[in-house]
Amino acid sequence: MDIIETIKKRKSSRTFNQVALKPADKRDLENFIIENSKGLESEVVNFRIIEKNDADRQMKLDFGMIKGHNTYILGTAKSSIDSRVNYGYLMEKVVLKATEMNLSTCWVGYFDYSYFKEVSIEDGFEIPSIVIIGYSDDRQTYQDKYIRFTINASKRQSWGKMFFNYKLKLPLTPEYIKKYSDSLEMVRLTPSSGNTQPGRVFFDDTANEFHFFKKTISKRYESRGLHDIDMGIVLSHFELTSLQSGLKGRWLKHTKENVSTIDELQYIMSWKWE
Ligand SMILES: Cc1cc2nc3c(=O)[nH]c(=O)nc-3n(C[C@H](O)[C@H](O)[C@H](O)COP(=O)(O)O)c2cc1C
């Protein structure tokens, strides 16, 4: 499936129908996870698909916000910004694969860690976020609609707030950045914690590089590392769309001295267009 169509099709589901993953779906997803376990700077995440039967405990996992779920994808990452970014980058590829397979998903950053006793967490590691996966219940609950309404889940920031020229710091337009306009549009459509969209992209037209920065929108999400996950999701959408458009490039991380400081933004990574 076309990655642009898949990105446009994905939206968070909060009403699942309690049916376990079909064996063929589980196997395809597990194979995808194995083939796509190597991420940014070659850091590996081994995601697991975990199935649970204890319906009465579900309530505890997500504080009752999501209904009818029993299957989860999660792994561990170092408690560092870069590792969380990588976790988001790799996991979003799994989410998009699941979307392509007509499975429903919801990223969850607020959950009860004690629900996953089967996952051992080494010192200095954490489960930065999980993804709930399954089949959607067509009868979307009132609560699901209410959550989407309160966080304005279908709305996204405008180009002018997210994408800029690196030297002039002026907004980029799709007409100016023609070849990469789809890549940036798919960045604009990324899901993010509380739909806060912390990603900012600056294009350096001399070096042909896109610099990705994080803007702390919510201190609460930032302190839980969720904005780092949001940034990983941004990188994955950008890369997948660029590669599909035939635009070759690679990720690199500049040293602090080699990137301009921009207001209150934090530098994450750059895409070198080759
Ligand atoms: C890192 C991350 C954490 C999230 N945590 C939660 C959560 O704890 N509970 C929840 O209901 N939704 C959570 N979401 C889903 C967002 O609210 C959702 O992606 C956003 O509102 C945009 O809506 P959409 O995914 O339908 O496009 C999370 C999303 C991300 C990316």
CA of 210 to the centre of ligand 1 (A): 26
Res. 96 pLDDT band, cuts 50 70 90: very high
Residue 194 Cβ contacting ligand 1 at under 6 Å: yes
CA of 106 to the centre of ligand 1 (A): 6
> What pLDDT does 143 receive?
82
Q: CB–CB of 66/14 below 8 Å?
A: yes
pLDDT digits (tens, 9 = 90+) for 187-214: 999 999 999 999 999 999 999 999 999 9
Asked if CATH classification 3.40.109.10 holds for the domain at 159-273, the reply, yes or no, is: yes
- Is 3-145's fold the same as 159-273's? yes
Atom of ligand 1 nearest to the CA of 111: 8
Per-residue pLDDT, averaged over 89-104, amounts to: 98
The SS3 call for residue 63 is coil
Residue 109 Cβ contacting ligand 1 at under 6 Å: yes
144: tokens are 């699901």
Which residues does 10 contact at the CB level (< 8 Å), separation at least 6? Answer: 95, 96, 99, 105, 191
Domain boundaries, the chain: 3-145, 159-273
Pairing mode of beta strands 199-204, 163-165: parallel
Q: Which helix (H) or strand (E) holds 147?
A: helix 142-150
Could you tell me the pTM of the whole model?
Answer: 0.97
Residue 171 Cβ contacting ligand 1 at under 6 Å: no
pLDDT digits (tens, 9 = 90+) for 105-123: 999 999 988 899 899 999 9
Scan for tokens 């990188």, then name that residue: 235
**From 49-63, 171-185, 241-255, the region with the lowest mean pLDDT:** 49-63
CATH topology of domain 3-145: NADH Oxidase (3.40.109)
Q: CB–CB of 141/13 below 8 Å?
A: no
Res. 56 pLDDT band, cuts 50 70 90: low
pLDDT digits (tens, 9 = 90+) for 156-176: 999 999 999 999 999 999 999
Residue 130 Cβ contacting ligand 1 at under 6 Å: no
* Maximum Cα interatomic distance, the chain, rounded to a whole number of Å: 58
> What pLDDT does 59 receive?
67
259: tokens are 């990137």
Res. 53 pLDDT band, cuts 50 70 90: confident
pLDDT at 55 over 70: no
**E strands in 95-248:** 104-108, 125-126, 130-134, 163-165, 199-204, 209-214
